[in-house]
């Protein structure tokens, strides 16, 4: 099979048909947010020395980071989609691009079916308000010189969403919703613990009545016992407000717990995507298999660790062919040359691996990616 790496599938033919056991089947609706062939690259702006050298005839070395490459991902209303990968894989960049913080280098972000760059003024405002972000570091994401009331109420005031006189009430309601006392509104961020700050960050997002939260490692900086509190808050809010989430995390145990559907990223691309339980119990990409094997388990004792070798290559110079081939125990000659397309491998599941298509290869090998603990 020849694989044309520039080929893009028509979105949504295979996407979210969801089979989440023990849960209400999410409604098959038009996606609320969608990335279509999304590309985001960062290149260094030439500084004065480089420009002078260029004038002198030396070529400019514009090193480009391929943060997100050709990503298709759709999130339907009410879904919780997990975006998983190791540091540098582009998961935060993808989340920020979906929320409108990074303009795409190529491809499109679609908000309710319409490319963001074609939105009217009013639609653009709706997109900006309906899609909110919750950040990882509750110490860096709050302005230390503003009170909680100023931070949480700012968007309401700027966009005229509430009469001046009602803003204080709206702030208190948002604080109450995240489990903080109204008396905290006049305090400053340094007066709070990490968990409380993360609640303030969530209240700030909730104040404008969003439909969609992009959560970028929202509990990674919190203590274990506080993590559970904040995760429960997210789950309560989902139920009460019918929120949709893109949950970006490196913590697979957590993602398995709260997500309906999961996308695994490696070096800027989605390598596997599917319903959470199926993806974790039966990975269809060797990288997913390696990640799943590394989920720490309190029920496992004296494990013999036989991890996957190597590190993520630099996004400045991604390897040719499949980006995972230097670390993959199943790598074949075709993997070094041709990049596998993200293609359907089962109902509602996509994976980018030659083991599914190459002649003589068997996807059964994926289960043996990492040595089984003895």
Which residues sit at the interface with other proteins, rule CB under 8 A? Answer: 20, 22-23, 86-87, 193, 195, 223-229, 231-232, 235-236, 250, 252-254, 256-258, 276-277, 290-291, 293-309, 311-312
From the CB of 210, what's the least distance to other proteins, in Å?
22
Residue number, 114 or 241, with CB nearest to other proteins = 241
Residue number, 158 or 224, with CB nearest to other proteins = 224
Q: Are 267 and 65 contacting, i.e. CB atoms less than 8 angstroms apart?
A: no
Q: Are strands 269-275 and 261-266 parallel, antiparallel or unpaired?
A: antiparallel
For the beta carbon of residue 353, count every other beta carbon within 10 angstroms. 29
Residue number, 23 or 159, with CB nearest to other proteins = 23
Residue 293 contacts by C-beta under 8 Å, 6 or more apart in sequence? 307, 308, 369, 370
Distance (Å) of CA 24 to CA 21, 34, 78, 254: 8, 22, 10, 20
From the CB of 222, what's the least distance to other proteins, in Å?
9
From the CB of 124, what's the least distance to other proteins, in Å?
34
From the CB of 7, what's the least distance to other proteins, in Å?
29
What DSSP state is assigned to residue 316?
T
From the CB of 326, what's the least distance to other proteins, in Å?
13
From the CB of 311, what's the least distance to other proteins, in Å?
6
**Cα 212 to Cα 108: distance, rounded to the nearest angstrom:** 18
Beta bridge partners of 40: 68
From the CB of 369, what's the least distance to other proteins, in Å?
11
Sort 71 into a burial class: Cβ within 10 Å, 0-12 / 13-18 / 19+: buried
Residue number, 253 or 320, with CB nearest to other proteins = 253
Residue number, 131 or 353, with CB nearest to other proteins = 353
Residue 44 contacts by C-beta under 8 Å, 6 or more apart in sequence? 62, 63
From the CB of 142, what's the least distance to other proteins, in Å?
18
Residue number, 87 or 183, with CB nearest to other proteins = 87
For the beta carbon of residue 313, count every other beta carbon within 10 angstroms. 16
What DSSP state is assigned to residue 116?
G
**Cα 157 to Cα 163: distance, rounded to the nearest angstrom:** 8
**Cα 267 to Cα 85: distance, rounded to the nearest angstrom:** 9
From the CB of 265, what's the least distance to other proteins, in Å?
12
Residue number, 50 or 231, with CB nearest to other proteins = 231
Residue number, 115 or 329, with CB nearest to other proteins = 329
Residue number, 293 or 345, with CB nearest to other proteins = 293
Sort 11 into a burial class: Cβ within 10 Å, 0-12 / 13-18 / 19+: middle
Name the token pair of 159: 């966009």
Annotate 136-169 with DSSP letters as a single string: S-TTTSS-TTS-HHHHHHHHHHHTT-S-HHHHHH
């Amino acid at each position: 099979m020849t694989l044309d790496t520039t080929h893009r599938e028509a979105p949504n033919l295979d996407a979210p048909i969801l089979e989440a056991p023990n849960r209400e089947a999410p409604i098959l609706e038009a996606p609320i947010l969608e990335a279509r062939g999304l590309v985001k690259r960062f290149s260094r702006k030439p500084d004065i020395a480089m420009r002078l050298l260029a004038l002198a005839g030396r070529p400019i070395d514009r090193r480009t980071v391929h943060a997100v490459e050709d990503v298709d991902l759709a999130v339907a209303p009410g879904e919780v989609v997990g975006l998983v990968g190791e540091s540098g894989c582009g998961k935060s960049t993808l989340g920020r691009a979906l929320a409108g913080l990074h303009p795409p280098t190529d491809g499109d972000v679609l908000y309710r079916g319409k490319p963001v760059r074609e939105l009217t003024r009013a639609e653009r405002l709706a997109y900006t308000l309906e899609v909110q972000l919750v950040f990882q570091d509750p110490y860096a994401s709050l302005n230390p010189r503003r009170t909680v009331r100023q931070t949480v109420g700012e968007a309401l005031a700027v966009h005229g969403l509430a009469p001046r006189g009602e803003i204080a009430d709206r702030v208190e309601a948002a604080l109450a919703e995240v489990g903080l006392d109204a008396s905290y509104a006049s305090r400053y961020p340094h007066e709070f613990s990490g968990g409380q700050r993360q609640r303030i960050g969530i209240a700030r997002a909730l104040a404008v009545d969003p439909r969609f939260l992009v959560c970028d490692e929202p509990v990674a900086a919190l203590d274990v016992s506080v993590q559970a509190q904040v995760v429960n808050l997210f789950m309560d809010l989902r139920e009460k407000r019918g929120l949709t989430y893109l949950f970006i995390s490196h913590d697979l145990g957590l993602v398995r717990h709260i997500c309906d559907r999961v996308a695994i990223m490696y070096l800027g691309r989605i390598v596997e995507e599917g319903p959470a339980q199926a993806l974790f119990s039966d990975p269809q990409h060797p990288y997913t298999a390696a990640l799943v094997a590394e989920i720490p388990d309190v029920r496992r004792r004296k494990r013999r660790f036989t991890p996957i070798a190597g590190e993520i290559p630099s996004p400045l110079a991604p390897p040719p062919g499949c980006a995972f081939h230097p670390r993959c125990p199943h790598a074949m000659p075709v993997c070094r040359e041709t990049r596998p397309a993200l293609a359907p491998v089962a109902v509602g599941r996509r994976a980018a691996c030659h083991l599914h298509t190459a002649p003589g290869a068997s996807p059964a090998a994926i289960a043996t990616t990492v040595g089984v603990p003895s």
